[in-house]
Amino acid sequence: MLEGAPRLALTTAFCLAALSSPQPAAAQKARITNLSDVNFGLIANLQTDARRSQNVCVFSQSTGSLYSITATGSGSGSSFALTDGTNSLAYEVEWSDQSGQTSGTSLVPAVAATGRVSAATQQTCSNGPATSASLIVILRSSSLTQARAGNYSGSLTLVVAAE
């Protein structure tokens, strides 16, 4: 049982890569931009899920603007888990093909979510829509109530590939 409200600070650093096929020029066909760290700060209410979403730009220069997104966490076996150095705290990742969303399709660690469609018309969304997708990170209340107080951090790697 926890004494008082645990201090659960989540900072997620994003390492990005844009991949397509084994051909070097193909790597220029997909790109993700506008990502920023996710910080949950002090979490006082452990009875509800803590969510953070951000709008990002995903560009795919492929037929139908199709792309896949693969998320890999820094937890054991590429899992989505944070650590305070001793304890672990699981989190979930969702993705939406539309910006401004607070929920989306659940991503499985290291498994490509295929058939995504981008509305971006420029690689950095400098012309057309300013953003084209939503990244959602969730700390479930079931995990929060089991967590020990501390500052948790981890990394999340997102790989986007043109299809």
Q: What tens digit of pLDDT does each residue of 17-71 get?
A: 333 333 455 556 888 888 888 888 888 788 899 999 999 999 999 889 999 999 9
Average pLDDT over residues 139-152: 88
Per-residue pLDDT band for 114 (boundaries 50, 70, 90) equals: very high
Average pLDDT over residues 135-145: 93
Q: Please indicate, yes or no, if residue 86 is contained in any of the structural domains.
A: yes
In 3-state terms, the chain is what percent helix, strand and coil (to 5)?
10, 45, 45
Q: What is the pLDDT of residue 25?
A: 52
The average pLDDT across 138-146 equals 92
Among 6-20, 59-73, 106-120, 121-135, the range scoring the smallest mean pLDDT is 6-20
The structural domain count of the chain equals 1
Asked whether residue 1 is domain-assigned, the answer is: no
Q: Identify whether 3 is part of a domain.
A: no
**How many Å apart are CA 7 and CA 25, to the nearest integer?**
46
For residue 8, the model assigns a pLDDT of 46
pLDDT of 18 reads 35
Pairing outcome for strands 8-18 and 150-162: parallel
pLDDT above 60 for 76: yes
What is the CATH classification number for the domain harbouring 74?
2.60.40
Average pLDDT over residues 102-127: 93
Q: Note whether residue 2 is domain-resident.
A: no
Average pLDDT, the chain: 83
Q: Which amino acid is at 89?
A: L
Q: Is the dihedral of CA 48, 43, 138, 3 positive or negative?
A: negative
Q: Find how far residue 53's CA is from the centre of its chain.
A: 9
Percent of the chain, pLDDT > 70?
A: 83
Q: Is 62 inside a domain boundary? A: yes
Instruction: Inform me whether the pLDDT recorded for 142 exceeds 90.
Output: yes
Q: Does 115 have pLDDT greater than 90?
A: yes
Residue 74 structural domain: 8-162
The answer to whether residues 153 and 83 touch, using CB atoms and an 8 Å cutoff, is: yes
